[in-house]
Amino acid sequence: MKNRLKVNIFLFFSLFILTNELFALHIIGGVLSYKCLGNGVKPNTKIYEFQLKMYRDCFGGGAAFDAQAPISIYKGTSTKAISTDLVILSSNIIDIQPPSNPCLVVPPNVCVQEGSYVFRKELDISTETYTIAYQRCCRNSGVNNLSQPGNQGITIMTELTPEAQTLCNNSPIFNDFPPIAICVNNPLVFNHAATDAENDQIVYEFCAPFQGGGNGGGGGGGNGCNSVSPNPACPPPYKEVVYNTPTFNKLIPLGGNPILAIDPKTGVITGTPNILGQFVVGVCAKEYRNGVLLSVTRRDFQFNVVACKNLVDAVVSGNEVSTNYVIESCGKDTLTIQNLTTINSAVKSFLWIFNVNNNTITSTDKDVTIDFMKPGTYNGKMIVNPDPGGCTDTVFMVVKIHPKLVADFESKFDTCVAGPVEFKDITKVTTNKVKKWFWSFSDGTLDSVQFFTHRFDNPSNYLAYMHIVDDNNCKDSITKMIDWFPVPPVLIVQPSRYIGCPPIDIEFSNLSKPVDSTYKITWDFGDSTTSNSFKPLHSYTKVGVYSVNVNLVSPIGCKTSKTFNNLIRIAANPIADFDYSPATNISNINPRVDFSDKSTGAIAWNWTFGEQLDKYSIAKNPTYNFRDTGLHIIRLLITDKNGCTDSLTKEIDVLPEIRFFMPNAFTPNGDGTNELFLPNGFFFGLKNYTFSIWNRWGEKIFETNDINEGWNGRFKNLGDHTLIDGVYQYSIQYIEPRGKVVKQQGFVNLVR
């Protein structure tokens, strides 16, 4: 790990045990090298010994190494192999072991084997390049960085350049096989260097492996280049494997942060893989002598990135930055550093070592408390299991003691003027500087600048909060109370002007801002009365012109006042009066009445006539016909130019008049004219009506109580009792609407 003196890893090879399919397709890499053994038997020839190393996954039932590997040699650009040798697999198959480490636990299902094929060949020294190649299907289908990896085989090849042939050159030999597994999100350092017999210059780079072989079956090569093991191997040039771009390519085979890289001079591979999975990688060792390229040794292999767990993992409280834990304190010199190391059977002891002001301080406690005495930067480390021979890990620390940060600010404003408030950060700092500000006020205002101006809307006790952060990320905050109770710059009251008539109640309001109920207010209404109510209701009872004074005092003693001259005018009331004609004898027979206004000061009139509210008039001198008898209340409401009103009511008695008209003769002879004897006139309201007819001998011959029934000249109005012509007496009696009993008698002539 990046902060470890010695990396101790427990590997959880979850990727290796997911399914058999992940490793069932066998091939995970290979490399082909050669040695020049000297001149051949034939003139102008050299003898070479070639060694092919193949690597396979040996867990999960994958195919074994080929018992005989068909290795073909091509010359120049020819597509016909000059030879193909079936090279027998060496009986010495090597199990690749993980790095020896007492703290490294490898599960039994991790298995990588190396198989070797060695053969010799006498070749003519040529001006053309020889290509020696072996092809095989197939790669693991679970490879992450290749497109359809199960369909991409492998070509392991090397070249004998004309320069290498002339010099009887030996190709470089890679020293070590890459680790079986590497830990995700942990730094990788692996020396992929090669050794060259002639000490030629070697330049290392990532390069693309080649495809080769197919899924056609037939190990003997019956399907040509699509065979599992083509025989002969197909001719060059060879296709590079197809990467899953753009995430991966030959120069970025694993990704990572930082990205995996190889040092071109040393061959050291470094980086931090950050993606779990299997990744095909190609490393080329280019051999130069005097600036001339002699050979390229290409290793094709597979990196397996897995999740790891450390048996011993030194961890302390703080922030992990680069290769150190950074522990920071603001204004506190004595610190307790917590040991967060997971305790297990492998953890035996601890050793803390700090350099404090040129003194070495040590402790064997689990946690440590140190007085650093003053601000500064201090280095230290904590070793888990410091005694030799055990699993150990070391964490390095940088302790930064920063000066204490004490926030402070000031506010400037005229306490009695309703203006803005200036806020200023006045925090005192030493070596550190404030870099961030956060302001918050209880009226909801927020800001993030060092100096600013704020205007409050309403008077109040406001909480002002400032939070600051310096360039050491030290923080502090402070809250202060701002007593903002100025008096308003202008006093405004309502009503702004008023004209009315006594008695009148006027509600006064103070519309000035900023003002609230905490302010003391005094009203002088100009009629020797005052009020301290914030919204007083005052009654004016006398005619006159009044000036109103308002005096305002804030809770902190700020004062202001103003007199509103001639604000209220109380004018004399108008006087309502009217006459009507006729003054008497108004009845249902004569219902018309003419009204005449006699008011003083009126400019508007509203008459109501007592019968129905919707019967009114706004004329000055209206005329009205009463529809009903009885007492009627007549009301006149007048308004003057100031809006003042007065009213007057009078009663008018509309008499219920009844009139009877009796004829002195009638002719019931059947000619349709004057057939009945009955009264004419106005009878509305009449009660207890009786109408009777008498003959000369005092005999009653007809009687009715129905005002609409008349006498037809017969006895009791019967059809067969016709009476003789002559004079008959009638009698009428009734009660008038207001209770007067009326009796009337007379004579009528019956003439046929």
- Measured CA to CA, the distance from residue 745 to residue 660 in angstroms comes to 12
Return the ∠ at Cα 239 (arms to 238 and 242), rounded to 5°.
155
Which two tokens mark 329?
A: 């304190």
- Domains, the chain, in order of start with CATH, read 10-309 (no CATH), 319-402 (2.60.40.10), 409-484 (2.60.40.10), 493-570 (2.60.40.10), 578-654 (2.60.40.10), 659-750 (2.60.40)
Phi and psi at residue 14, in whole multiples of 5°? -65, -30
CA distances from 665 to 409, 443, 676, 711, 726 (A): 121, 104, 10, 12, 10
- Measured CA to CA, the distance from residue 664 to residue 337 in angstroms comes to 140
- Measured CA to CA, the distance from residue 441 to residue 460 in angstroms comes to 12
66-98: burial string, b at 16+ Cβ within 10 Å, e else: beebbbbbbbeeeeebeebbebebbeeeeeeee
Which two tokens mark 502?
A: 């006594």
Which two tokens mark 306?
A: 């897995």
CA 65 distance to own-chain centroid: 60
Taking Cα atoms as reference points, which of 280, 328, 370, 397 lies closest to residue 29?
280
- The strand pairing partners of 271, in sequence order, are 188
- Measured CA to CA, the distance from residue 353 to residue 394 in angstroms comes to 11
Indicate yes or no: pTM above 0.85. Answer: no
Please write down the long-range contacts of 291-296, taking CB distance under 8 Å and 24 or more positions apart. 292/163, 293/161, 293/163, 294/161, 294/163, 294/164, 294/167, 294/169, 294/200, 295/158, 295/159, 295/160, 295/161, 295/164, 295/169, 295/171, 295/172, 296/158, 296/159
- Measured CA to CA, the distance from residue 485 to residue 520 in angstroms comes to 12
CB 299 within 8 A of CB 286: no
pLDDT at residue 659 in the model: 84
The CB density around residue 256, as the number of other CB atoms within 10 Å, is 20
What are the per-10-residue average pLDDT scores of the chain (752 residues)?
39 35 61 96 96 86 83 96 95 80 59 92 96 91 90 93 96 93 84 96 96 65 74 94 94 90 96 92 96 95 81 86 87 92 86 93 94 92 85 89 92 89 89 88 90 90 93 91 90 87 89 89 94 92 93 92 92 92 89 94 91 77 90 92 90 88 90 91 87 92 93 88 89 90 92 88
Burial degree of 342 (CB within 10 A; 0-12, 13-18, 19+):
middle
**How does strand 665-666 pair with strand 741-750?**
parallel
pLDDT at residue 651 in the model: 92
CB 453 within 8 A of CB 441: no
DSSP-derived 3-state class of residue 22: helix
- Measured CA to CA, the distance from residue 716 to residue 723 in angstroms comes to 10
The CB density around residue 155, as the number of other CB atoms within 10 Å, is 25
Total residues belonging to the chain: 752
DSSP code, position 186 = S
* C-alpha dihedral sign at 467, 469, 470, 473: positive
pLDDT at residue 16 in the model: 35
Taking Cα atoms as reference points, which of 31, 30, 24, 92 lies closest to residue 55?
30
Return the ∠ at Cα 301 (arms to 142 and 265), rounded to 5°.
140
pLDDT at residue 223 in the model: 58
